[in-house]
């Protein structure tokens, strides 16, 4: 049974144990203990003491950064192991998890460098003889709650800037995928992070997650996951009057204009929806293709989609692994059946894959559906699986309205050789990230945020650390004249 990291100690949590399975064949990776409500309380009390400890509070940015740089080096040393572990935990192909670990290393180094070079703002003097300046201070105990689809990326993205800001972090990974979070705890411990500043509390969202976010000492919730859970956490945060960063769902449109470079666009669209088996909040799941090139484009899209290598996630050339669980596969399949019932035509996939040993795991074929309008339920709800709906368009005004006709606003893709059209369309699309002639590209230097029901707040960016800090403005009077207001007339 795996121990968990509570208040700087490796212990068996007092909650009901959980298991991690390999979604490719459901062999067991590990049995993991989970936190109880008492464990949550212990971790948070220790976190509160740890961030208030003068040794941490008064440590220089360069001293905190040194720990982060060490953690980055350890991540690098353990790169192969971490990528394999992530693959075992959620079934993502090894080529993809290797990329995610690389990005986690780069994120950690980038934030450490930002911390070293971060300067506080000096406001201009507005009052004669009063010097004013603003400093940034930690918020306190931060809850970082993460989903199962990209643990290493979403966890590092939250832990590192929160620690850089001088806070303590309570990390609650998804129940199905806790293994990376526990390795991260070991890495930060080895890097010299003082005890109590990071705890990893495994377990169910409805038990452990709830106990964490309701705890009075938790002062910020940084969450990535479903819109429904995000809305619930926003209510919890509102009651406590604490801040949130919520990275939620998506139903991202991709637009292919008639003048697009077809080869590039076909490959980009396929990667945008089918990498990660579509289990990505930014998956480009609604595709609008100009009528003039629709048939040619669809033909190429279907042909290439049928060639995607779906199989063993540990094989280096695999492009799509299994879905995370049987229940998730059923939900994806239900959506495909719903699409058929709504009049949709399945052009590729539309079924689970059982041949070549794939009957052991939750494999679903990359699926392309046509014949639906944007109002169809499968175009409005997030499927979080390898399902693409393709729709033709001719009128560009109507197209922008259709693309924006969604409760979500996370990302969008545009394919055209006309840069004016690309930029004017980008301005009109309601989404936090727009990719032009590319898709699913990320950079830690670039802020990531969702519009509409895709989220509140942002992550990443050079000043991302400040999202985990609060300001304090100081007015220093240089004059020695008593305030005349109090003088008796």
> Should residue 279 be labelled a site residue for ligand ADP when binding is judged by CB under 6 A?
no
> Should residue 145 be labelled a site residue for ligand ADP when binding is judged by CB under 6 A?
yes
Q: How far is the CB of 325 from ligand ADP (least distance, A)?
A: 10
> Should residue 450 be labelled a site residue for ligand ADP when binding is judged by CB under 6 A?
no
| CB contact set of 161 (below 8 Å; sequence gap of 6+) | 111, 459, 464, 465, 467, 468
Q: How far is CA 275 from CA 107, 242, 324, 468, in A?
A: 21, 36, 14, 31
Q: From 371, 291, 384, select the one nearest 332 (Cα to Cα).
A: 384
Q: Which stretch binds ligand ADP (CB under 6 A): 202-210, 352-360, 425-433, 479-487?
A: 202-210
Strand duo 469-477 + 9-11: pairing:
unpaired
Q: Which stretch binds ligand ADP (CB under 6 A): 107-115, 142-150, 419-427, 448-456?
A: 142-150
Q: How far is the CB of 67 from ligand ADP (least distance, A)?
A: 25
Residue count at the site for ligand ADP (CB under 6 A)? Answer: 16
Q: Which stretch binds ligand ADP (CB under 6 A): 166-174, 302-310, 428-436, 465-473?
A: 166-174
> Should residue 254 be labelled a site residue for ligand ADP when binding is judged by CB under 6 A?
no
Report how far apart the first and last C-alpha atoms of the chain are (Å, whole number).
Answer: 78
> Should residue 21 be labelled a site residue for ligand ADP when binding is judged by CB under 6 A?
no
Q: How far is the CB of 205 from ligand ADP (least distance, A)?
A: 2
**Binding residue for ligand ADP (CB under 6 A) from 135, 206, 337, 471?**
206
Q: How far is CA 11 from CA 6, 8, 32, 35, 289, in A?
A: 7, 9, 11, 10, 55
Read off the tokens for 9: 């100690």
Identify how many contiguous H helices and E strands the chain contains and give both numbers: 15, 23
> Should residue 325 be labelled a site residue for ligand ADP when binding is judged by CB under 6 A?
no
What is the distance between the alpha carbons of residues 79 and 154, in angstroms, rounded to a whole number? 16
What is the distance between the alpha carbons of residues 273 and 95, in angstroms, rounded to a whole number? 17
Q: From 26, 29, 453, 18, select the one nearest 207 (Cα to Cα).
A: 18
**Binding residue for ligand ADP (CB under 6 A) from 39, 175, 189, 459?**
175
Query: 281 catalytic, yes or no?
Result: yes
Catalytic choice (183, 189, 247, 382): 247
Query: 247 catalytic, yes or no?
Result: yes
* Residue 470 contacts residue 169 (beta carbons within 8 Å): no
* Residue 400 contacts residue 429 (beta carbons within 8 Å): yes
Whichever of 280 and 368 has its CB closer to ligand ADP, that residue is 280
**Binding residue for ligand ADP (CB under 6 A) from 90, 108, 146, 157?**
146
Q: Interaction with ligand ADP in 209-238: which residues (CB under 6 A)?
A: 209-210, 213, 225-226, 229, 232
For residue 413, how many other CB atoms are within 10 A of its CB? 29
Q: Which stretch binds ligand ADP (CB under 6 A): 207-215, 315-323, 372-380, 395-403?
A: 207-215
Q: From 68, 49, 147, 56, select the one nearest 106 (Cα to Cα).
A: 68
Catalytic choice (96, 175, 189, 281): 281
**Which positions are annotated as active-site residues?**
247, 281
Binding residues (CB under 6 A) for ligand ADP: these are 145-147, 172-175, 205-206, 209-210, 213, 225-226, 229, 232
């Amino acid at each position: 049974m795996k121990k968990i990291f509570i208040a700087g100690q490796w212990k068996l949590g007092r909650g009901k144990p959980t298991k991690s399975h390999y979604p490719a064949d459901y062999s067991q990776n590990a049995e993991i203990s989970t936190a109880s409500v008492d464990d949550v309380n212990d971790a948070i009390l220790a976190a509160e003491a740890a961030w208030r400890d003068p040794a941490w509070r008064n440590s220089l940015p360069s001293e905190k950064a040194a720990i982060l740089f060490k953690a980055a080096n350890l991540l690098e040393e353990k790169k192969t192991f971490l990528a394999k572990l992530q693959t075992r935990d959620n079934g993502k192909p090894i080529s993809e998890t290797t990329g995610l670990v690389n990005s986690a290393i780069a994120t950690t180094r980038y934030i450490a460098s930002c911390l070293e070079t971060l300067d506080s703002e000096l406001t201009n003097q507005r009052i004669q003889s009063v010097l004013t300046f603003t400093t940034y201070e930690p918020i306190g105990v931060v809850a970082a709650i993460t989903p199962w689809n990209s643990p290493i990326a979403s966890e590092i993205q939250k832990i590192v800037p929160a620690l850089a800001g001088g806070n303590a972090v309570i990390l609650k990974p998804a129940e199905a995928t806790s293994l990376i979070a526990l390795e991260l705890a070991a890495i930060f411990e080895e890097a010299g992070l003082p005890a109590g500043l990071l705890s990893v509390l495994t377990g169910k969202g409805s038990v452990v997650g709830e106990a964490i976010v309701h705890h009075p000492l938790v002062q910020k919730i940084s969450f990535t996951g479903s819109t429904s859970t995000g809305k619930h956490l926003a209510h919890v945060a509102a009651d406590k009057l604490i801040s949130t960063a919520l990275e939620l769902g998506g139903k991202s449109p991709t637009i292919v204009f008639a003048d697009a470079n077809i080869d590039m666009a076909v490959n980009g669209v396929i990667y945008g929806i089918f990498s990660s088996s579509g289990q990505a909040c930014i998956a480009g799941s609604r595709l609008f293709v100009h009528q003039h090139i629709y048939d040619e484009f669809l033909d190429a899209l279907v042909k290439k989609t049928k060639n995607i290598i779906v199989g063993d996630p540990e094989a280096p050339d695999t492009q799509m692994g299994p879905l995370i669980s049987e229940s998730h596969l059923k939900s994806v399949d239900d959506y495909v059946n719903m699409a058929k019932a709504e009049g949709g035509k399945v052009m590729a996939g539309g079924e689970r894959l059982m041949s070549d040993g794939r009957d052991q795991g939750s494999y679903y074929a990359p699926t392309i559906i046509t014949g639906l309008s944007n109002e169809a339920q499968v175009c409005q709800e997030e499927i979080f699986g390898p399902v693409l709906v393709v729709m033709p368009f001719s009128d560009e005004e109507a197209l922008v309205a259709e693309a924006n006709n969604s409760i979500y606003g996370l990302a969008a893709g545009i394919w055209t050789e006309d840069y004016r059209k690309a930029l004017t369309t980008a301005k009109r699309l309601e989404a936090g990230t727009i990719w032009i002639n590319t898709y699913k590209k990320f950079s830690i230097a670039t802020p990531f945020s969702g519009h509409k029901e895709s989220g509140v707040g942002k992550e990443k960016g050079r000043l991302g650390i400040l999202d985990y800090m609060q300001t304090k403005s100081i007015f220093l009077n240089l004059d020695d004249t008593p305030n005349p207001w109090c003088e008796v007339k």
